[in-house]
Structure 1
Amino acid sequence: MDMLYKVFIEPFVFMGEAPDLLIQTLWEGLVSGVLYALIALGFVLIFKASGVFNFAQGIMVVFAALILVGLYEKGVPAFLALILAALAMLVLAMVVERVVLRPLVNQPDIILFMATFGLTYFLIGFGELIFGGNPREMITEQLFLPQGTTEIGAFGGSIRLQHLDIAAAIIASIMIGLLAVFFSKTRIGRALRAVADSHKAALSVGISLNQIWVIVWFAAGIVALVAGIMWGARSGVSFSLQIIALKALPVLILGGFTSIPGAIIGGLIVGVGEKLGEFYWGPLVGGGVETWLAYVIALLFLLYRPQGLFGEKIIERI
């Protein structure tokens, strides 16, 4: 009985008694959720263009951030390093299209998935060879990302807002909005949906798979670069950052692999849920709720709504 009280009643009593802590937790979850949604959109881009989950998106976040920091450490000015990192993502997109994707046109989805799996470990090895395995600090001040904290009195307590978190939420929201317009309002966005439905049908109406794949992988690379900057500024730049990036998988399961609104809602559910779980229920299980709660939520969705909140239910007749 005492355990039931601690699980189902006490956390909510605490929320009512300390609303400032609840708002602080919700804010931190909101920021994390928006950044998860940004990473998830990189996965959505690739999935819309090929129908395959791009396992390499997580390491692309790390790789883009390492290129930026590595160039700056070599003496390249920060904003020039940012431009060169974006160009490196374009080169990566062209190489992936030419070496990996083009030979695998019309192959089963599992083949393309395994190709992205192999690309992941190639980028890990190549990144460690070029940059080493030591963690690095993101060049936040050089990129003029705001520092410091604003403290707001509320509900008899105070709420601390990190300026970096505010900037991260704004920048990620702008990127999400731009990608939503790109998908829904542009000719390339419509071509992406056609390619995802059928490679053969897209080719038959004159859509160039090669160009579409370069564009979409470059767009995913830019998303990875922005996500790498934001997460790197919060957590440092290291290869362990790809574990955070793979939190986008539960986000995609919740929202649906082809839905931009789903990525946003899924990101917010995961971000807010794991922060609330860690703060209010973490002490009951010894902490660490943030590392596994998102995957438990995703498992429940797979059991009861495998297409996600906004995904399409596909019925195949035999």
Structure 2
Amino acid sequence: MEILNKIFVAPFADMIAAPDFLMQVLWEGLVSGVLYALIALGFVLIFRSSRIFNFAQGIMVVFAALTLVGLHEMGVPAWIAVALTLAVMFGLAVSIERIVLRPLVGQPDIILFMATIGITLFLIGFGEIIFGGENKLMITSELGIPTGDFVLEPFGGLLILQHIDITAVLVAAALVVSLLVFLNKTRMGRAIRALGDDHQAALSVGISLQTIWVLVWFIAGIIALVTGIAWGSRAGVSFALEVIAYKALPVLMLGGLESITGAIIGGLMIGMLEKMFEIYWGAPLLGGNTESWFAYVLALVVLLFRPQGLFGEKIIERV
């Protein structure tokens, strides 16, 4: 009975007794979930347009953030460094398309996947040669990102919102809205969607595969830069950030590999649920550190009942 009480009764009693603390936990989970969703969006865009699972998206987050910080350390003003970093990510997109992807057109999906692993290893080695392996501080104040806390008093308690986190959520929301408008309202956006819906039909009407690949990898680079700035402002910038990017994998399994909506909702769900589980179940019952594996277990449970994810389309093959 004591175990059942700890599992089913005590956590919910704690939530009711301290609703302000529950809101704090949910806010922390929301911020993490937003950043998970951003990383997952990079995966989804590339997979929809090219059927390539881009294993390099995580290291792109690190590489973009290190490029920004590295340029600023060389004396480049912050916002000019942002513009130059975007130019570097565009150059990276063009290089990947011409050197890696174009020669592999028509090859099996596993070959393209292995190519993205090769890109990952190259960027790690190249980045360590240029930037070194030590942790660096993100140029938060130079970019005009406010620091400090914003304090609310709900339910007679305290809810502390860091300005950095508020900025990250607002910028991420603006980026997602801009991306949806681009995909639905512009010619190039509709071309990306068409390529994802029917690859052969899109090519038959003259949509350039090479142009779309460069575009989606560049958009993934923009997303990587925004994510790198947000994560770097919270924890510094180093190659350890790549591990955080792997949290996008269970987000993709939960939401579906081709669903932008699934990436957003899946990221928010995992961010908030893993934080709640850690605080109310993981720490009291398992000693903590459940955030490192909870998302993967949750995604596995979902896949057992819905292999295509919550928002993925069920594929039926007839023979």
TM-score range, shorter chain: over 0.9
Q: C-alpha distance in 1, partners of 2:201/2:121?
A: 32
For 1:89-168, list aligned pairs within 5 A: 89-168=89-168
Deviations 1:199-225 (A, max 9, x none): 544332111111111111011100100
Q: Report deviation, 1:193.
A: 2.9
2-structure distance, mates of 1:258, 1:138 = 32
| C-alpha displacement of 1:24 | 0.5
1:282 Cα deviation (Å)?
2.1
* Distance across 2 between alignment mates of 1:298 and 1:187: 35
Question: Paired residue for 2:173?
Answer: 173
Deviation at 1:69, TM superposition (A): 0.2
RMSD: 1.1
Aligned amino acid, residue 98 of structure 1: R
> TM-score normalised to the size of structure 1?
0.97
SS at match of 1:134: coil
**Residues of 1 paired with 2:313 and 2:199: CA distance?**
19
Is 1:234 matched up with 2:234? yes
Partner of 1:263: 263
Larger deviation: 180-189 or 104-113? 180-189
* 1:253-296 Cα shifts (integer Å, max 9, x gaps): 11111111111110111110111011111221111111111111
| Pairing of 1:1-318 with structure 2 (within 5 A) | 1-197=1-197, 199-283=199-283, 284-318=285-319
Instruction: Give ranges in structure 2 of 5+ residues lacking alignment.
Output: none
Gaps of 5+ in 1: none
Instruction: Give CA-to-partner distance per residue, 1:89-122, whole Å, 9 cap, x none.
Output: 0000000000111011121111111111111111
User: What is the CA–CA distance in structure 1 between the aligned matches of 2:150 and 2:195, rounded to whole Å?
Assistant: 47
Deviates more, 1:27-36 or 1:179-188: 179-188
| Cα pair 1:278 1:290 within 8 Å, conserved | yes
CA displacement at 1:127 relative to structure 2: 0.6
Matched AA of 2:137: E
Shift of 1:50: 0.7
For residue 80 of structure 1, what is the amino acid of its counterpart? I
Aligned length: 318
Q: Distance in 2 between matches of 1:297 and 1:242?
A: 21
Structure 2: how far apart are the matches of 1:159 and 1:52? Answer: 42
Q: Percent identity?
A: 65
With the length of structure 2 as denominator, give the TM-score of the two structures: 0.97
CA distance in 1, matches of 2:37, 2:176: 8
Q: Distance in 1 between matches of 2:29 and 2:230?
A: 15
Alpha-carbon distance in structure 2 between the residues aligned to 1:260 and 1:220: 13
Per-residue Cα deviation, 1:195-252 (whole angstroms, up to 9, x for no partner):
3355544332111111111111011100100010001101110111011111111111
For residues 22 and 248 of structure 2, the distance between their equivalents in structure 1, rounded to whole angstroms, comes to 24
Separation in 2, partners of 1:265, 1:317: 31
Report how far residue 185 of structure 1 moved.
2.2
Give 1:32 shift.
1.1
What is the alpha-carbon distance in structure 1 between the residues aligned to residue 193 and residue 114 of structure 2?
A: 22
2:304 maps to a residue whose letter is L
Counterpart amino acid of 1:289? T
Q: How far 1:307 moved relative to its partner?
A: 1.1
Distance 2:174 2:194 in 1: 26
The more displaced of 251-260 and 160-169 is 251-260
Q: Is the CA contact 1:51–1:197 (under 8 Å) kept in the aligned structure 2?
A: no
Shift of 1:186: 2.1
Three-state SS of the structure 2 residue aligned to 1:313 is coil
Give distance in 2, aligned partners of 1:68 and 1:233: 12
Taking the aligned partners of 2:273 and 2:145, their CA distance within structure 1 comes to 27
Report the 3-state secondary structure (helix = DSSP H, G, I; strand = E; otherwise coil) of the residue aligned with 2:177.
helix
Shift of 1:175: 0.5
Partner AA of 2:252 in structure 1: L
**Equivalent residues of 1:199, 1:209 under 8 A apart:** no
Give the C-alpha shift of residue 309 in structure 1.
1.5
